[in-house]
Amino acid sequence: MRQEHFGIAIVELMASGIVTIAHNSAGPRMDIIGTSPKPVGYLALTVEDYAWNIRRVLRKFDEHKEMRVEARKWVA
């Protein structure tokens, strides 16, 4: 969601170890994904950004294991 204040659903996805793709604005960018020192998810602005990130995650899911682990740590 654009300009999501915080986004508890995003945090819940990350806590579950799911590779998360969120809108590149407000809470996801400033408080959740964008401020992490390590990659913990992806931010997208356009439909094309979302599609590209979804494709990247699905095609190389096993390569995202470290990101999933880091995301769980980040939101703990």
Any idea where the domains of the chain sit in the sequence? 8-75
> Comparing C-alpha atoms, which of 70, 76, 19 is closest to residue 44?
19
The residue whose two tokens read 């590149």 is: 24
Q: Please state whether the predicted TM-score (pTM) of the whole model is above 0.75.
A: yes
The yes-or-no verdict on residue 1 having pLDDT over 70 is no
Task: Give dist(CA 73, CA 23) in Å, integer.
Answer: 21
Task: Give dist(CA 73, CA 22) in Å, integer.
Answer: 18
Amino acid identity of residue 31, one-letter, is D
pLDDT per residue as tens digits for the range 15-41:
999 999 999 998 888 889 999 999 999
Task: Give dist(CA 66, CA 51) in Å, integer.
Answer: 22
Amino acid identity of residue 72, one-letter, is R
